[in-house]
Chains A and B, each alone.
Chain A
């Protein structure tokens, strides 16, 4: 009796597998590749999207913005994630290959510069932040604060936030080697909160009462100033498609830019559009 039941279970399991395989084979495939900064948005939205649309199969890969755009122009991916606008050289390549990339802004990315609450400094110029992080300035007195060593806190060199900060503020220069490298936004916030001479940078979602966000070039970091592009340490995040999006690709991009996708953008620590 037991054996018969087991057999029945096995047969029905096999049948299920067959059906499942059938739907996967029939599914439309969308390949998303590119920026590691956009990766969490792409992964999470793809998961939820596939949950709602069983007939579309989305595979998401990182690799970096440049890799994603190159793949898009080669035709090996359908959507290229990018944390920067396409360069002129990339547009030239696209023209040579008779491709017409279209950009969709999917989120805004803003990074706040934070200091300890006991620090009397409330604003810095972007140039001063750069000098602090590259090592040209090491004492708070050089930027109008009380004399004391600046404890520079940074994200680990492989994080997306680090990369964004490097592009937007450091312009490709190296972070001073004696900076404390931390694995998460949370770790940076808690170190700065405990260190009177500390300075760090975190995603907008990590600003709390325990640290003080600084005005940069006279602009406070918040959702409005990041959305309008006034805050200098912010940037749009893109998805590029070949020609205007259509079919499954359009459906996915509409989902990402729609209310549910933007809620995910917000959850992942980026600034949702509107």
Chain B
């Protein structure tokens, strides 16, 4: 009886462990199945590099280049915010903060990560955009710049906590060796600790990027939503995620518009997939490197 029970538990937990694999495979299959029909109507090149996105006109135009560029711009902008902020605060937390400061700051960063994205979006729409609009005298504050700013703040905790982990993995012996040969604190930090944690910090940045490129609600609310190739960072843009979220609800099922949205989702999935693989590869290299020398 006990043996059977044990076997049953084993099976249940095996099934649970494999369920995420099943979900992943299911999602991939659906994305391919629903996304591919668009390429019967539009050539892949025209889809990816077409400059007009007019999916509901007669005849419809399915060029997602403005959407891809918008995602790219907004993510790049977010990096300029989250890398200095995230890596900087990780360095401070790890190197300089007293125990008391750490015990306040660390939970704060984690709370920042747990705020729902719609709250960030609301904050961006009601406060950041109007303030930037007045401050910079731009026609509208709902633009790539505001979206980057808000996304950057959102991605900061991801970058910060992973980068901090990476710093704490650097063996104490590295630091001691550096001090022993007469390096001061700054030299130890820039010449020894940061290079040793470098790949971990890169992983942090890539995962932050992955977070920014896939974020939907915030960009839907803050980026403006114009499917135009941006000429400046103060132009309104329509990232891929917000196009899917805004249009899927009313695209008739099985229409080319519906399939085109799935194809966008597929491309987005491939991008984040590539980011995650890159992050995994880099962090693997980093573990091996530290293992050998530590």
Say whether A159 faces chain B, with CB atoms less than 8 Å apart: yes
Distance of A180 Cα from B246 Cα, bound (Å):
12
User: Is there contact, CB below 8 Å, between A180 and B247?
Assistant: no
**Chain B residue contacts of A172, Cβ below 8 A:** 58
Say whether, besides A151-B139, A157-B54, A194-B130, A179 and B247 are in contact (CB < 8 Å): no
Cross-interface CB contact of A198 among B54, B66, B140, B251, cutoff 8 Å:
B140
Q: Does A197 contact B (CB under 8 A)?
A: yes
Q: Which residue of B lies closest to A198 (CB)?
A: B140
In contact, A158 and B142 (Cβ under 8 angstroms): no
Cβ of A63 under 8 Å from chain B: yes
B224 touches A (CB below 8 Å): yes
* B-chain residues with CB within 8 Å of residue A158 when the two chains form the complex: 55-56, 246-247, 249-251, 257
Which residues of chain A from 163 to 202 have any CB-CB distance to chain B below 8 Å in the complex? 163, 172, 174, 177-183, 191, 194-195, 197-198
Count contacts between A and B, CB distance < 8 Å: 68
Determine if B140 and A191 form an interchain contact, defined as CB atoms under 8 angstroms apart: yes
Contact between chains at A178 and B236 (CB < 8 Å)? yes
Instruction: Tell me the complex Cα distance, A180–B224, Å.
Output: 5
- Which residues does chain A contribute within 8 Å of B235, judged by CB atoms? 178
Nearest residue, chain A, Cβ from B229: A177
How distant is A181 from chain B, measured CB to nearest CB, in Å?
Answer: 4
**B252, A63: Cβ atoms closer than 8 Å:** yes
CB distance from A193 to the nearest CB of B (A): 10
Q: Is the CB of A181 within 8 A of B133?
A: no
A34 at the interface (CB under 8 A from B): no
Residue of A nearest to B220 (CB): A183
A83 at interface by CB-CB < 8 Å: no
Residue-wise, chain A 128-165 has the 8 Å CB interface mask toward B (1 for contact) of 00000000000000000000110100001111001100
Decide: A195 and B251 in contact? CB cutoff 8 A: no
A45 is an interface residue with CB less than 8 A from chain B: no
The 7 nearest A-B residue pairs measured at CB: A158-B250, A181-B225, A177-B228, A178-B228, A157-B56, A149-B139, A180-B224
Report 21 cross-chain contacts, Cβ distance below 8 Å, ordered by A residue: A36-B250, A62-B252, A148-B139, A151-B139, A156-B246, A156-B250, A158-B56, A158-B246, A158-B257, A162-B56, A174-B54, A178-B235, A180-B224, A180-B226, A181-B225, A181-B238, A183-B220, A194-B129, A195-B133, A195-B140, A195-B141
